[in-house]
Structure 1
Amino acid sequence: PTGTPASPAFLAKLVDFATAHGIMLVHDNPYGFVLNETPPTSLLSIPGAKEVALELNSLSKSHNLAGWRVGMLVGRADWLTEILRFKSNMDSGMFLGIQQAAVVALALGDDWFAELNATYRARRALVIALLQALGCEPAPGQTGLFVWAAVPPQYADGYALSDTVLAEARVFLTPGGIFGSNGNGYIRASLCQPESVLREALERVKEVTERHVDRKEASRVTQ
């Protein structure tokens, strides 16, 4: 996920394209409630989408139930029937305790999301400060659990920056290139660590960048 929110107009273009070419459109939408400043948008709310699209969601991101595999799939009855026929050969149901926990999670109100997003906003501020300390440019308006940023010109790509930061600061940032060649010029940082870990990572990165500045200044004096 790039963190770029899809507008209703963009989703409408996808629906039109899928309709024109007979393509099944699948929308994985688990980040809709995370750091989204606008109401979450379902692809199926777009006119014509119900004929060409399926939408997935889960409690992994919105309710911190990652790994419990609690989710939903919504769409045309004939498509869902085929999926259920296949799935029935893979498993025979979910542990009842997890189902009951999911019921409680789904009953949570707006206060839950307000608290959750307050936590992620605080983490995001630290992550953005870390990326900026490296000379990266985080794209504005991102949602979800990750922050993407353009790699500064002194690095060949995200891999080069990631390797440097890992070797010198012992902090790992994901090179965007692992998600495809279009991500080569970017780096991705996660908001899934507590503030204490992110603060330590920020301090480590600052120490490294300050050492680099000191070396450059010493080199100028020597010259």
Structure 2
Amino acid sequence: MKTAKRLESIHEYYFSQKLREIEELNKQGEKVINLGIGSPDLAPHAEVINALQEESRKSNVHGYQGYKGIPAFREAIANWYQRWYHVTLNPNTEVLPLIGSKEGIMHICMTYLNEGDEALIPNPGYPTYRSAVQLAGGKVREYELKEEADWMPDFAALEQQDLSNVKLMWVNYPQMPTGQLPTQELFEQIVAFGKNHNILICHDNPYSFILNDKPMSLLSVDGAKDVVIELNSLSKSHNMAGWRIGMLCGAKERIEEVLRFKSNMDSGMFLPLQVAAATALKLGKEWHDGLNAEYTERRKKVFSLLDNLECTYAKDQVGMFVWARIPSTYKSGFELSDKILQQAKVFITPGGIFGSAGDKYIRVSLCSPVALFEEAISRILKS
């Protein structure tokens, strides 16, 4: 049986392959320390878990749900955006709950891209942007982000290009994998660029609360809703990655357009999950402060680990990873990553999986306890 042509340029997700390799090493008794994947290891708030348990006990909550989510959840999202981002959203028309924001990337590409349409994606950037564009039949056009430019787009270079066939631009700040924070000026430039070229700006915003006390939304820029839609998620900010709870926010017209596709892909989100998610979104500053205090201690250990590897890095980066340049003695992050895995049985993500501009970098996840980082450092020093 032949697979569809749309899969010809799509490969298995890197982490899917690597996890199998690590699993095989573990079966051999190696006990690999995985510092690669950004899956929070801490639990959600107890009130969130209680809400899920209590709601799940009810007999009338187990059926299909509406495609737009329950009003209480949409209102919680709108209130959360107002409270933290100072963005006003109409919960009835400008908010769409998602079964994880990753599905939203695919929904957006399928909604707007025709065969041959182009989408701008960052290099380095989240690999799913590329695969979703290609699966939708679109063409990827990379825009390179450089360390010397603070990992921000070169708009002057973009303006020199023929952008007539570009329909979407994927942006992501705080940026993954580099941890670069946005500035107000950058956000204003992105919105202006979208308006000048009639390009829909798709902002992926799951990291704004991690090690960052000033969360920002691209929708906060005046007139942003004319050209911007924003994905967000509870995976990182509320330790709910496996719950698959995300959201799309934007103008009424954009929400309705994406819903036309999404409503053919799923049958709504489990009601108790929505109630629990609404509870999570009501948590206060003390929740984020506590979470970030833990990540701060972990990041200190990661800095120490990277120092031992003679890598260089910016200490002001945010998010749940640390991005670091490898020593010149290695050809690529893949080489360093493979060496550490083979010799120390510690897995660190090579930056090249995020694009060619990441070849000279590695990325370390903060999603492990301090003791595990200490063990990883000990192994590396002994190897």
Same fold (TM over 0.5): yes
The letter for the 2-side match of 1:4 is: Q
Partner amino acid for 1:194? P
Q: Percent same amino acid among aligned pairs?
A: 53
Q: Tell me the CA shift for residue 140 of structure 1.
A: 2.6
Q: Which has the higher contact order (CA 8 A, sep 6+)?
A: 2
| TM-aligned CA deviation for residue 206 of structure 1 | 1.7
Kindly indicate whether residue 247 of structure 2 is the aligned counterpart of residue 54 of structure 1: no
Match of 2:212 in 1: 36
Distance across 2 between alignment mates of 1:104 and 1:84: 24
Runs of 4+ in 1 over 6 A off after TM superposition: none
What is the one-letter code of the residue matched to 2:181?
A: P
1:176 corresponding residue in structure 2: 351
Can you list the C-alpha shifts for 1:130-181, whole angstroms capped at 9, x where unaligned?
0110000112311101000000011111111111111111111111001100
Q: Which residue of 2 aligns with 1:125?
A: 300
Match of 1:25 among 177, 183, 201: 201
**Quick one: distance in 2 between partners of 1:189 and 1:121?**
14
Does 2:251 match 1:76?
Answer: yes
SS at match of 1:62: coil
Which aligned pairs between 1:130-169 and structure 2 lie closer than 5 A?
130-169=305-344
Structure 2: give runs of 5+ residues left out of the alignment. Answer: 1-175
Matched, 1:102 2:286: no
Question: TM-score of the superposition, structure 1-length normalised?
Answer: 0.90
Paired with 2:363 and 2:231, the residues of 1 have a C-alpha distance of: 24
Structure showing the higher helix proportion among its residues: 1
2:195 and 2:362 map into 1 onto residues whose CA distance is 35
| 1:48-83 Cα distance to aligned partner (Å, 9 max, x none) | 211000011111110001021212111111111011
Give the aligned length. Answer: 207
Question: Which letter maps to 1:17?
Answer: F
Secondary structure of 2:303 counterpart: helix
Partner of 1:14: 190
- Name the amino acid aligned to 2:352: G
Structure 1 residues not aligned, in runs of 5+: 209-223
Q: Is it true that 1:86 corresponds to 2:261 in the alignment? A: yes
Normalising by the residue count of structure 2, what TM-score does the alignment of the two structures yield? 0.53
Say whether 1:203 aligns with 2:382: no
Calculate the aligned-residue CA RMSD, in Å.
1.0
- Match of 2:179? 3
Letter in 1 for 2:183: S
C-alpha distance in 2 between matches for 1:92 and 1:165: 44
Q: Does 1:191 align with 2:366?
A: yes
